[in-house]
A and B are shown apart, each in its own frame.
Chain A
């Protein structure tokens, strides 16, 4: 039995790296600084280690050969999921380049809400350490950070010290759209966050009104989405008087059509505040289990985020056309390779096409794929790199145990070689 400390997590997205983990053979137990996201993800037992072809256990070489056979001579394979580490994503893109596949990360439709806004107008954003040391006003729009990452407030707001705040409990927290979940957002001195709640469908209008107030546009309305304009005016004033406010949004919970316009409005609020004599930064909350990693690696490898098609022999980017789920549904693909090395509960898209799944051990299927290869989890079964949600920091994942499970990169390289 050994204990490893300062273990970084690829699961929570916020780059928690203070976990202590007891290791007994291949069993893991989080003994310090666990949370509802990280502890189960680390402690999940290994169930299967043998690859399967048509439901029958085979050795890795056989499974790889079968995968290569299924991909050979395809016209438009799709590679979905893309939930892996940097080396896994490198190998995935090498394979996609070779077989002319679409590579499409699992949560792209969520990330797209940010990417479309960013590619149209840009943004001014910040990272976790700046929040921790500078943020005196946190405006949270349309999401609940403590639901996304249970330790968000503990690690980044209610810290014992901050470089530029004498007392971290003076930070002000405002929820716009949602209400807090539990007391995580309540300051150590007991000050509760202000909540200005509205229905999701009203959020675009609420944000538009806030934007108009920031721009000092005249408004006729007295309230919007059940929130008074006076309350929003007070939020605008607080943004103008804060030293370093942070406007946080979560694309994942902006679950309505053209949410990118809401994101863009939020980003414009941030830019406008910066032109009014004080500082303000945006913070997109979202991206775990390899989402950012996939977009980053695809970014430097192809020039585009991770929804690209290599069918023409070079990468083409289209944030709508190359949606792997739509392509499978519409009969635009002829094979599926799906990669999910982090989450055994995730489900691949259902398809009648030849399908190859590289998944975390213990994954169950509604329909047995042609090939299933259990792969190691980055940060548990092998070392690697994963991006934190703020995109700047790549964390170095540790190998915690000898499970014998191959890495995503090893399996995908082998498939590429076997083609």
Chain B
């Protein structure tokens, strides 16, 4: 079937197209050149006056895995307030902070998103992450596999194993857990918490292993580069949420010594200690560091006001923050000599000084980082806010007067501590398209996604131009996934199943000679039973794997 999208105003930064009127042709799921052989168009959509972008990509959203299910189980009251009815087409479920998987898939698609990446896949819990993502309809998915607090890596570092051996282990784990990138959460900190350390600075040693977070970050960043994994090491830094952590973050940037590194939910890592409340914005310093260090990318992890739940692998920091739990209940777990997790419900309040300033700090970072290819739109769903708040966030970025109106309503002392009112920048549609499409696809390493030129998969979102950007981005006119119309007027019209994006870096099989005895001796599962096979993803008849190319080996 040949589909023609006629006359839309196209924003396709990957092809350098910034708001030009263009026709797009789709055949067999992909975008094709305009046919020259006179083939008839089977279906035409008149998109004159509409805005056309590729499907949006959320490069950091907690949509699958054990901590998410703990968060769901912990908060039945949150689900009761947002029941989702079954329809002829769609399954029932529940929404708000941590929605059921079906509802997450529908709601992402209904906002024009066509791919989501779970950033904290514990290798030992990867099956669950894939099973949950396998029950998330329409969108493509993938995950970053967590390393850095696993005992095997720390033992390797203590034993001064060479970089090649580390690379083999990283590649082995990535293959076994089926991810597209490597994530570090509070490098070594989750492990240190098990040894009763309650904080771990960048150059502080694990009390057992005599390894520092800086060493872990350097080693893993090098492994990612040398293995040719496109997505830079995805780093949740030390000292999340701690006033003064801006220095830690700046040191982390310097400490990686030019290697590619992605700093996630950087808002939570950009706090100073100035002012009467000893809590201030470090956004300007952070933005300057990002602007000056081309090896660094970041997503913001914007907070927005209201009830949510924070679900993180960082049980050290989550335990420290449990006293802020609202409602007052929380879960921490130590997990399988692999990692951990902490789930703490939060209610961010605009009249709370700290929360209000967190809100402003996130926006300052968005607006002060100059290159939209290196900063990404996230709320660290659900940690800063549920993903359903993205259209509101886009309006805050694109509409200065709206932003300043909102600023005028927050805690007055927080207003005094932010430069937000003086920042004139408004994001353009092209910049939004970079941040949520082209840039995201590039940084994750997705081939044939996030662009609208011929040869790409036809993941396409069509909006009606509207000065109210929140309204515009809440309800696309059309969403196409792999060339099929899945959403019309903001509602799902067809349920499809996206693919799971992975990379498969090579490794020396002899790493299993070290791993097998380690599994037998210390872990609770046989090595062979640990590795996820391809058919586990595809045997339900819906899932599939798409392996992306590696970069030329460095």
* Chain A positions near chain B (C-beta within 8 angstroms): 6, 8, 15, 17-18, 86-87, 90, 94, 97-98, 115, 118-130, 132-134, 155-156, 159-164, 243-244, 274, 277-279, 281, 295-297, 299-305, 310, 312-317, 383, 385, 391-396
Residues of A within 8 A of B536 (CB): 385, 396
The stretch that binds A, out of B7-15, B83-91, B364-372, B545-553, is: B83-91
Q: Chain B: which residue is nearest A132 at the CB level?
A: B524
A300 touches B72 (CB 8 A): yes
Whether the pair A128, B76 counts as a contact (CB closer than 8 A) is: no
Question: Which of A17, A118, A159, A301 is most buried by chain B, counting CB atoms within 10 A of its CB?
Answer: A301
* Contact among A18, A162, A302 for B94, CB-based, below 8 A: A302
Residue of A nearest to B331 (CB): A122
Looking at the assembled complex, report how far the CB atom of A92 sits from the nearest CB atom of chain B, in whole angstroms.
13
B491 at the binding interface (Cβ < 8 Å): no
The CA of A125 and the CA of B85, in the complex, are separated in Å by: 34
Distance in Å from the Cβ of A383 to the closest Cβ of chain B? 7
- Which interface residue of A97, A122, A395 has the most chain B CB atoms within 10 A? A122
Q: B38 contacts the other chain (Cβ, under 8 Å)?
A: no
For the A-B complex with A97-B91, A300-B64, A304-B79 known, give 9 more contacts whose Cβ atoms are closer than 8 Å: A15-B525, A97-B92, A119-B74, A122-B343, A124-B332, A125-B333, A317-B76, A385-B127, A392-B335
Chain A residues closer than 8 Å to B193, beta-carbon distance: 279
Given contacts A127-B333, A129-B337, A393-B125, contact A119 B101 (CB under 8 A): no
Binds A, one of B354-362, B397-405, B526-534: B526-534
Neighbour of A396 across the interface among B75, B84, B343, B529, CB < 8 A: B529
Q: Known: A8-B529, A300-B135. Is A164-B93 also a contact (CB below 8 A)?
A: no
On chain B, the residues within 8 Å of A243 by CB distance are: 196
A126 near B333 with CB under 8 A, answer: yes
B333 A163 Cβ-Cβ under 8 A: no
B373 interfacial contact with A, CB 8 Å: no
Chain B residues positioned under 8 Å from A17 (CB to CB): 525-526, 529
Contacts of A115 in B (CB 8 A): 73
Contact B94 A304 (CB under 8 A): yes
Contact residues of B between 485 and 528, Cβ < 8 Å to A: 521-526, 528
Taking A123-B331, A130-B335 as contacts, is the C-beta distance between A15 and B528 under 8 angstroms? no
Q: How large is the interface on B (under 10, 10 to 19, 20 to 34, 35 or more residues)?
A: 35 or more
User: Is B375 on the interface with A (CB-CB < 8 A)?
Assistant: no
* A129-B338 contact, Cβ under 8 Å, with A120-B329, A303-B99: yes
Would B524 and A128 count as touching, CB distance under 8 A? yes
Is B162 close to A, CB under 8 A? no
Complex: A255 Cα to B93 Cα, angstroms = 33
A-B contact pairs, 23 of them (CB 8 A): A17-B529, A90-B540, A97-B86, A98-B86, A125-B333, A130-B334, A133-B337, A161-B521, A164-B208, A277-B196, A299-B72, A300-B131, A302-B94, A304-B73, A304-B94, A310-B86, A314-B83, A315-B92, A392-B128, A393-B125, A394-B125, A394-B128, A394-B131
In the complex, whether B539 has a CB less than 8 A from a CB of chain A is yes
Judge whether A163 and B522 touch: CB under 8 Å: yes
Give chain B interface residues in 63-119, CB to chain A under 8 Å: 64, 66, 68-69, 72-76, 79-80, 83-86, 91-94, 98-102
Complex: A312 Cα to B93 Cα, angstroms: 12
The residues of A that contact B319 with a CB separation of less than 8 Å are: 124, 274
Q: How far is the CA of A120 from the CA of B325 in the complex (A)?
A: 12
Q: Which of B317-337 contact A (CB under 8 A)?
A: 319, 325, 328-337
What is the CA–CA distance of A385 and B328 in the complex, to the nearest angstrom? 34
Contacts of A161 in B (CB 8 A): 521-522
A18 engages B526 (CB within 8 Å)? yes
Known: A279-B196, A314-B86, A315-B83. A301 touches B523 (CB 8 A): no
Q: Which of A86, A164, A299 is close to B69, meaning CB atoms less than 8 Å apart?
A: A299
Q: How far is the CA of A120 from the CA of B535 in the complex (A)?
A: 39
Contact of A393 among B73, B83, B102, B336 (CB under 8 A): B336
